[in-house]
Amino acid sequence: MTAGTKARRHLLRPWSRFARRAALAVMLLVDLAAAWPLAAEIRAVEFAEPTTRYPHGVLGDSVEYGSLLIHWRNTNDKRLRYDAVARQGTTVVSLPQSRVFEDLAPRLVDLDGDGRSEVLVVESDARLGAQLAIYDQSGDKIAATPPIGTRFRWLAPIGAADLDGDGHVEIAYIDRPHLAKTLRIWRFEAGKLSQVASATGLTNHRIGEDFITSGLRNCGQGPQLITVDANWQRLVASRLIAGQIQSHDIGAFEGSNSLQRALGC
């Protein structure tokens, strides 16, 4: 995940602030759910259907998104090499009126190590607030964290990697970065998410900012999660070791440039 980016809702490249509020360009969508190719892999993802039905505004405006577009292609099944429709298409994940994607952009991460990416997003419910959700290539939600439990409560992703060297990918986020300021780490294993550790006193987002101030680095001693302390004064590096989060101060926080320097080791 890119840290400190000021882009929102993009197709793997930055958008301007004006593009966030504009309607997405009309595109051809191919509905092949009944004949989903088993060899499909995701080539790009993006949010669509801008909506103001969830007026939280934590990311700077009232616009969130009602659907997720998963653009895929089939690269392995030679029987389909002459059939352009069967070789590529778009799966549309449409949320009910009570839910939105409250996020900067969908993330592609290979969570199960099979060489194909899954989609990681923040999804919010009008009554229960945010949760971290995982979708597969066919648009099925395969796992999710429990919702925070109250509307207008959010979480800010940091990154995903094998944080402790056990062969399984962990996903890290800050739970309620403006209130609880709690780092939570979840492990994805056998198609399920389980929380493995948490630590308070850390954050990565301020209300109204259209970027997240955190990231993941590896400076030769294993993956580290880089965030800010609860008072926005110090940069903090955290590691997952033997099921525990170990954090230490790595210098003053002086804006996005200091974060980028820290991420670059």
Torsions phi, psi for 3 (to 5 deg): -95, 145
| CB atoms inside a 10 Å sphere around CB 115 | 7
Quote the pLDDT of residue 57.
96
Q: Check residues 230 and 82 and name the one with the higher pLDDT.
A: 230
The predicted pLDDT at position 40 comes to 78
**Cα 215 to Cα 70: distance, rounded to the nearest angstrom:** 24
Confidence of residue 27 (pLDDT cuts 50, 70, 90): very low
pLDDT higher than 70, residue 35: no
Question: Alpha-carbon distance 42 to 167, whole Å?
Answer: 23
Token pair 């929380």: residue: 195
Give, in degrees to the nearest 5, the angle at Cα 110 between 144 and 86: 95
The whole-angstrom separation of Cα 129 and Cα 122 is 10
Q: What confidence score (pLDDT) does residue 2 get?
A: 47
- What is the average pLDDT across 196-223? 97
Confidence of residue 78 (pLDDT cuts 50, 70, 90): low
Q: Is the pTM of this model over 0.95?
A: no
What is the C-alpha to C-alpha distance for residues 207 and 115, in angstroms, rounded to an integer?
A: 36
For the stretch 94-136, pLDDT in tens is 999 999 999 999 999 999 999 999 999 999 999 999 999 999 9
